[in-house]
């Protein structure tokens, strides 16, 4: 086999592998193989089981909630991730270390399933008072990532008071 034929074969093989892998999503993860943990009997409020993983190299989540510049318009929510990638829609339903999706909760009620880092919370969805916005990380098989028996999540407070909004208290869990 000639040198150019070997080169073309190698190039075709690499191109095929690249096409099979597909899109990789958002976030920070080195993509290396890791243990996917142990599924526990513990569940969240929706009945999704916890997937216990070691603390070292575990995903981390943070959340920042900022009121819109236009009073009464709503809030911009940005999640921060470390050792975690958000999987694109249509990802196979299986656990892969450091990958999955996030769910956003307002006062314990599910608001949205997130596969991007940003979310817009309209003011109409939030009543007067102080509220808790929580982001929690899930594997693509719908188990909850957990460390030491606690879900990998972060919470921030926001206060809605009529037409104006108060600055939120951001979570100290932000990576």
pLDDT at 157: 95
pLDDT at 74: 92
Note the pLDDT tens digit of each residue in 100-148: 999 999 999 999 999 999 999 999 999 999 999 999 999 999 999 999 9
Note the pLDDT tens digit of each residue in 35-63: 589 999 999 999 999 999 999 999 999 99
Least confident of 75-84, 87-96, 157-166: 157-166
Rounded CA-CA distance 89/100 in Å is 10
Mean pLDDT of the chain: 81
Note the pLDDT tens digit of each residue in 63-76: 999 998 887 789 99
pTM, full prediction: 0.74
Buried b (16+ CB within 10 A) or exposed e, 70-108: eeeebbebebbbbbbbbbeeebeeebbbbbbbbbbbbee
State whether residue 163 is helix, strand or coil. coil
């Amino acid at each position: 086999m000639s040198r150019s034929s070997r080169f073309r074969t190698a190039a075709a093989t690499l191109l095929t592998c690249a096409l099979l892998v597909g899109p990789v999503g958002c976030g920070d993860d080195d993509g290396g193989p890791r243990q996917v943990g142990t599924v526990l009997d513990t569940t969240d409020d929706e009945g999704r089981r916890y997937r216990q993983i070691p603390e070292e190299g575990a995903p981390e989540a943070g959340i920042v909630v900022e009121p819109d510049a236009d009073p009464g318009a709503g809030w911009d929510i940005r999640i921060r991730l470390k050792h975690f990638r958000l999987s694109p829609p249509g990802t196979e339903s299986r656990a892969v270390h450091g990958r999955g999706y996030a769910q956003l909760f307002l006062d314990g009620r599910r608001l949205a399933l997130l596969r991007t880092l940003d979310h817009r919370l309209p003011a109409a969805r939030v009543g007067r008072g102080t509220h808790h916005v929580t982001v929690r990380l899930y594997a693509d098989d719908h188990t909850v990532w957990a460390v030491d028996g606690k879900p990998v999540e972060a919470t921030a407070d926001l206060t809605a008071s009529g037409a104006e909004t108060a600055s939120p208290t951001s979570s100290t869990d932000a990576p």
